[in-house]
Amino acid sequence: MRAAIISTGEEVLTGETIDTNSAWIADSLWTHGVDVRCMMTAGDALEEICWAFEQAAMRSSIVVCTGGLGPTSDDRTAEAVAAWAGVPMERNAEALAQIEQRYARWGRTVNEANRTQADLPKGAVILENSWGSAPGFMVHHGDCRVFCVPGVPIEMRKMFDQHIAPKLAVTAPPVLVRIRTFGCPESRLAELLEDVDLGGATLGFRAHIPEVQIKLRFEGDEETQDIEMVVSRVCGVLERWVYNVDGGDLAETVVSSLTESGDTVCLAESCTAGMTTSWLADVPGASAVLERAVVVYSNQAKQDLLSVSEDTLAAHGAVSEPVAKEMAEGARTMSGATWGVSLTGIAGPGGGTDTKPVGTVHIAVSGPSGIHHQHAVILGSRAQVRKRAAGAALALLLRAKAD
């Protein structure tokens, strides 16, 4: 199967709204064994949306379109599909009934603008939207199936899983293996894998700060032992950066690892200001392992809460290996946790020097096996430096536990 993705709306076309829908749909289609041939963005003009459907249908047998199903005059996706398919618009009784039932449950009155959301291409198959007001629909024209769903991400994702994914089922669905890595850029990972025998796997990458995922897609009839052999080869080459296969992100992996070993952790954060702690706390079950955390921006806070030496601060500065190590030890000592983790750095955009440029970060982990330290100069915006530093702290904790 080949697919095209269309997103509509002036706000997406101008960049006012980031198009996360297309990325999510592409990843989901790829997982189901569907090759995405193109992505297109059209504004609100009818001729632009029609052009997008024409181009998409030339390149694919499946088109997934998001947006343009609302009750206002600039929502013209249904009209564009009707024009492309050469069929008239009609008020769909099934869609109208769903809209009226939903508004009745909400205790709201349906006005004429809401009713226009039931004006769809003649012969359209309705895709019920149980999470919002706009019904989706499917049209089959020529050799192409078009699925149109709302642009609201939570509605789109639920409707994709309920209505679209089941129609993508194949006799032998592909097998997707995700190898999650941290600390090595995507370009370097690709270079390292150039000469690796991947057998029948299709290789893909997904860079999502702070990690990079290697995606291996195997045909459904691939032997299990052959899949395991390829995965083993890839993990062998990338061993120092791989933190799990087909598992959760860094925070989920840390919570799982600490839970399994019965360990606890205390975090002391300066430049990340609680970001690492918050990331861990987002994981269900974190309360079993997250003992406590402190944000220590000032030197005085580092001294008062973590017993960092005034002499160490004066001799090396807050952003240094000795201070990071004393912060980690202080966090572990004052909390009684199994592990103490610290981060101190210069997130920018100001504050850097020739010897400590913006992006300089020192991370330390104190635990049963001693103290581990990592120093890095992280490139990127302030938000990227902080997110990558948080990832580095969790990755260092996993490595320390493995020692």
Instruction: Quick: pLDDT tens for 14-66.
Output: 999 999 999 999 989 988 888 899 999 999 999 999 999 999 999 999 999 99
CA dist., res. 341 & res. 322, Å (int): 14
Domains along the chain with CATH numbers: 2-168 (3.40.980.10), 175-245 (3.30.70.2860), 250-402 (3.90.950.20)
pLDDT, residue 171, reads 67
pLDDT tens figures, 231-255: 999 999 999 999 999 999 999 999 9
**Which pLDDT score is estimated for 172?**
75
If you search the block for the tokens 């017993």, which residue do you land on? 307
List the chain pLDDT tens, one digit each, 403 residues: 899 999 999 999 999 999 999 999 998 998 888 889 999 999 999 999 999 999 999 999 999 999 999 999 999 999 999 999 999 999 999 999 999 999 999 999 899 999 999 999 999 999 999 999 899 999 999 999 999 999 999 999 999 999 999 998 666 778 999 999 999 999 999 999 999 999 999 999 999 899 999 999 998 889 999 999 999 999 999 999 999 999 999 999 999 999 999 999 999 999 999 999 999 999 999 999 999 999 999 999 999 999 999 999 999 999 999 999 999 999 999 999 999 999 999 999 999 999 999 999 999 999 999 999 999 999 999 999 999 999 999 999 999 999 8
